[in-house]
Structure 1
Amino acid sequence: MLGAVRHNGYIPWDDDIDVGMIRADYEKLLLLASKFHDYSGYEIKNYRYNKYCDYVIIRIYDNNTYIDNPLYYKTKYDKRLYFDVFPLDYAPDDIVECKKQEKRINKRKRLLFWTCGYTFKIDSIKKLGRCLLHAVLKPFRNLVLRSLDNEMKRYSKTKHLCSMASQYKYKKQYMDVTIYGRPVSYRFENHQLMGPSKADEYLTQLFGSDYLDIPPEEKRRKGYRMYEKRNSQ
């Protein structure tokens, strides 16, 4: 959304794309997952249908691409280009209940981190302990994912929405439903894409009132080389 409003497209130093969908529409997309791969060059992945997923969101991969990221070289991390789809779930209207849910969400996210196959260089007792903890918790990864997913879906038909799987804190993503409102069309490169009806309120809450200001170079994220795979004739 920041790219659409500030740059009318991709942020030049951040080629990441995140999509938000109301939970009901998100679930419909998940139902298409098994069929989607059959007639397209893409694959929809989620822990419900893919045994080795370590994320609670939907991730859509382009089968004809490759990301050249040095961090992936010696890992089993999927090296295809992808974008993430986050569910927008109803959140409690009561602030006390919000804080309780935020704690439950964060607890499950921490557990999920330890069940995932992140690699640690064992050069201290502390890191050895981390590896042992991962080994113990890894078999319970899908159980933790399911628990996190269910907690995100706990409430329905309230006056607030929250992207609880986001990297941003719960309170940053906790918004009045009217901010999303009826979707509005925004220019993104050569396309028109739908976004929140109150873009200024949405972006101000996430990034501050100066979200239109271009950040200094040292605060810009570095990208990676990406390649399109082509069959040689």
Structure 2
Amino acid sequence: MNELRKLQKKELEILTAVVKVCEENNIKYIIMHGTLLGAVRHQGFIPWDDDIDICMPRESYDKFIDIGEKFLPSNLKIQHYKTEENCPNIFAKVRDENTIFLQKEHVDLDINQGVFIDIFPLDRIKKGNHQIAKEYWRKGIFNILNECYDIGYVKGIKRKSSVLIGYSIHFILWKGLWRFVDRNKFIEREDKRRKKLHETGDDCVFYSVDRKVVGKYSRITERKKYLFEGQEFWGPKNYDEVLKKLYGEYMVIPAEKDRITHQPLKVELECNNIEEK
């Protein structure tokens, strides 16, 4: 078994454990993004994919953050600003602390660096082109500011026109004008803003956290089961609509140069230096 396949199997173990918690605690989830595409096109992982994405309606997401770790195996930890002090993301991950999946943007961070799956909240937003564009830019600006807190992320910026912006945000804002701003509080304020918008929002939701792709909230939360690596998992019933909006002609295999992965610096699936619990 090659190394990528071993990584996929480890991620599937994490997904299976998370889904067990969801099923036992009335927490709704759907597989999304590349995981949904893999289920539809390959009945499992996209052959070159190295992650798993699931989404939860906001109410289920908050419930999972609050209680999930009580029911997960002891080696699995929820990484979220509420559960880990230096968590750099506004969304959540479930990581296996007995493994390593080191990304270049996180190399200097004192956080759990284990193999993970991503969990994103499904938040309602206001409908209408102006409101959608406004929220898209608000999320985008937050993401840029938050990511540029980490010098590892800034060093990894490839677009030359963005390098100066990244270093300016890091050194002038975070290390200068905002040096007394608590990053955890910065993330928390934005998360609370998004939650409040969900509570007052319309039947509209972003299908992806970093793209202006929207659909009806009521439609994406309608679920059916999909075969993925020999197991069945919940996904959006309207998969064709979702995948066409996200990927266009999604059944066409992309050229090798367009196959995106995390490209980790280091992966270890069994860490012998971690004490048994």
**TM-score, normalization: structure 2?**
0.70
Sequence identity percentage: 26
Q: Output the aligned Cα RMSD.
A: 2.9
- The residue correspondences of 1:148-187 to structure 2 (distance < 5 A) are 148-153=190-195, 154-156=197-199, 158-163=202-207, 166=209, 168-169=210-211, 171-172=212-213, 174-187=214-227
Name the counterpart of 2:259.
Answer: 220
Q: What residue ranges of structure 2 are gaps of 5+ in the alignment?
A: 1-35, 156-163
Alpha-carbon distance in 1 for matches of 2:105, 2:123: 32
Residues 163 and 47 (structure 1 numbering): CA distance in 2 closer, same or farther, change over 3 Å?
A: farther
Residues 113 and 119 (structure 1 numbering): CA distance in 2 closer, same or farther, change over 3 Å?
A: closer
Q: Which amino acid aligns with 2:49?
A: D
Residues 68 and 135 (structure 1 numbering): CA distance in 2 closer, same or farther, change over 3 Å?
A: closer
Alpha-carbon distance in 1 for matches of 2:139, 2:82: 19
Name the counterpart of 1:30.
Answer: 65
Paired residues in the alignment total 223
Name the counterpart of 1:16.
Answer: 51
* 1:5 and 2:5 are equivalent in the alignment: no
* 1:193 and 2:233 are equivalent in the alignment: yes
| Residue pair 1:159, 1:177 contacting (<8 A) in 2 also | yes
Name the counterpart of 1:75.
Answer: 108
Name the counterpart of 1:64.
Answer: 98
Q: What residue ranges of structure 1 are gaps of 5+ in the alignment?
A: none
| Residue pair 1:179, 1:199 contacting (<8 A) in 2 also | no
Name the counterpart of 1:229.
Answer: 271
| Residue pair 1:61, 1:83 contacting (<8 A) in 2 also | yes
CA distances 1:85-133 after superposition (whole Å, capped 9, x unpaired) = 0000011123222222222222222221233353656xxxx58645523
Task: Identify the structure with the greater helix proportion.
Answer: 2
